[in-house]
Amino acid sequence: MSNGTNPSAPDPVLTGQPASDASYRVLARKYRPATFDDLIGQDAMVRTLSNAFEAGRIPQAWILTGVRGVGKTTTARILARALNYELPDGSITQPTITMPVLGVHCQAIMESRHIDVLEMDAASHNGVDDVRQINDAIRYAPVSARYKVYILDEVHMFTPQAFNALLKT
């Protein structure tokens, strides 16, 4: 049996070895929701976000709360996609929650590698200097997307001094 890339190579599942394919992804990332329609059990939040987008009254900051594993970071990434959703033909010119196909920035945002969507793990970067770096970067306009988005994951781990520095933003 083979792994599909090299007929003579043993199947990594049968040998107990990890796959070396570029297509290998952790299941949680492979099946992570990509649109608001994919979010399960978050109807109230999706309705709130939808109303804000439809009314054209999108706040400059959102605080997503909940227990571990409910999809706060995933929702933040989807929100970043919705704010910056653009199609190559330029037919969509404003933020939208309806994203039927991958837009110009979508793949990079969902893979946490977009230059204008910055995700920071506040559990590891919880000091005043880390917040000051954010404050310095906020001054600059987005490079390629419509909006610059900062996702501060695990923000409850900030030191009190870091919280104070963030409030002065």
User: According to the model, what pLDDT value does residue 22 have?
Assistant: 59
Full pLDDT tens readout for the chain, 169 residues: 444 445 455 555 455 555 555 577 788 778 889 999 999 999 999 999 999 999 999 999 999 999 998 999 999 999 999 999 999 998 888 999 999 999 999 999 998 899 999 999 999 999 999 999 999 999 999 999 999 999 999 999 999 999 999 888 6
**Among 123, 115, 83, 112, residue whose Cα is nearest residue 99:** 83
User: According to the model, what pLDDT value does residue 19 have?
Assistant: 53
What residue type is 55 in one-letter code?
A
State both tokens at 69. 């594993």
- 63 vs 151: CA distance, rounded Å: 10
CATH topology for the 26-167 domain: Rossmann fold (3.40.50)
pTM (two decimals): 0.81
Sequence-distant (6+) residues with CB within 8 A of 152 are: 120, 122, 134, 166
**Please, which contacts does 58-65 make with residues 24 or more away whose CB atoms are closer than 8 Å?**
58/83, 58/95
Domain segments of the chain as ranges: 26-167
User: According to the model, what pLDDT value does residue 93 have?
Assistant: 85
User: According to the model, what pLDDT value does residue 51 have?
Assistant: 96
**Among 79, 116, 73, residue whose Cα is nearest residue 99:** 79
User: According to the model, what pLDDT value does residue 90 have?
Assistant: 87
